[in-house]
Amino acid sequence: MRIGHSTTPPVTAVARVGALLREWRAARRWSQLDLALDAGISTRHLSCVETGKATPSRELLARLADALDMPLRERNALLVAAGYAAHYPETSLDTPALAQVRRAIEFILQQQEPYPAFVLNRRWDVLMANRAAARVNRLVMEGRTSAHANMIRQIFDPADLRPAVVNWEDVAGDLIRHLHDEVAANPNDHAARALLEEALAYPDVPSRWRRRELGTVPAPLLTTVLRSGERQLHFFSTITTFGTSRDVTVDELHIESCFPVDDATAELCRALANEDTGA
């Protein structure tokens, strides 16, 4: 279905979609030949689409989006830029349509007890968390409540969780790397760029983090060390995503599950859970 009544997208729309494709190719560091081969079209045809000389069909846009591995939100933006209606819905997690997804998430959070788990969106907003996450957060923040519902802000704000993170440079540096990658991979995501700039503006953030480090290979597992008085808690995390989603909201969710690195951390988490239940 097209937007409006015209059967052919206007020239301005074709120009916008061409610009988007060029930006995504640049983000992926692909040539026109690379993208054309992967999408199964000729380089000449792709060049005509990018310059506005050819009108891309919905099917062609889908093939190009598949080749570029574009997220669902960006696929919608590509379609709208070309004059078509968005294809993928964006549904609130609280609606009946996503009841099964929410139930699956709640099950994962519950199963992670007595260790922390969080549900985050693409902006690193904490949408849901299990009781273990609240217990550990309350412990290391000495009973204070976080001022932010966003993990980036929690980690970077000196008045929030940051003082409790023993290996702050390791953890914050990893988050900055993810933000740089997000900005590079999604050229038109102005909100991601704004969040990156906000994180970099906090006090005592290394100036070298303003530049994206290319070619660096992150460690397979990042350990987060939290302090509570003289005690320390050591966690590593795994990320769960919904790989076959057809909804923008679900496509952008990820569940971070924390696991104890050592017996002392595991025992402390169990003790906090027992106190919480009165066992």
pLDDT digits (tens, 9 = 90+) for 230-277: 999 999 999 999 877 899 999 999 999 999 999 999 999 999 999 977
Q: What pTM was computed for the model?
A: 0.83
- pLDDT of residue 12 exceeding 60: no
C-alpha count within 13 angstroms, C-beta hemisphere, residue 243: 2
* Confidence at residue 187, expressed as pLDDT on a 0 to 100 scale: 72
- Fold exhibited by the domain 96-167+217-277: Beta-Lactamase (3.30.450)
pLDDT in tens, 222-243: 899 999 999 999 999 999 998 7
pLDDT band at 10 (very low <50, low <70, confident <90, very high): very low
DSSP letters, 2-40, are BSSS-SS--HHHHHHHHHHHHHHHHHHT--HHHHHHHHT
Strands (E), the chain: 117-120, 126-129, 223-228, 231-241, 254-260
The span from the CA of 106 to the CA of 100, in Å, is 10
Over the chain, what is the mean pLDDT?
90
Residue 241 bridge partners (DSSP): 254
Residue closest to 137 by CA, chosen among 151, 127, 124: 151
- Helix/strand/coil percent split, the chain, to 5: 50, 15, 35
Residue closest to 118 by CA, chosen among 130, 106, 131: 130
Task: Calculate mean pLDDT across residues 155-168.
Answer: 97
Joined together, the tokens standing for residue 43 give: 């380089």
Same topology, domains 11-81 and 96-167+217-277? Answer is: no
Pick the CATH number of 11-81 from 3.40.50.970, 1.10.260.40, 3.40.50.10240, 1.10.10.10: 1.10.260.40
pLDDT band at 129 (very low <50, low <70, confident <90, very high): very high
Q: Where are the domains of the chain?
A: 11-81, 96-167+217-277
C-alpha count within 13 angstroms, C-beta hemisphere, residue 23: 17
Residue closest to 139 by CA, chosen among 256, 264, 232, 237: 232
Long-range contacts at 259-264 (CB < 8 A, ≥ 24 apart): 259/115, 259/235, 260/115, 260/233, 260/234, 260/235, 261/223, 261/234, 261/235, 261/236, 262/234, 264/231, 264/232, 264/234
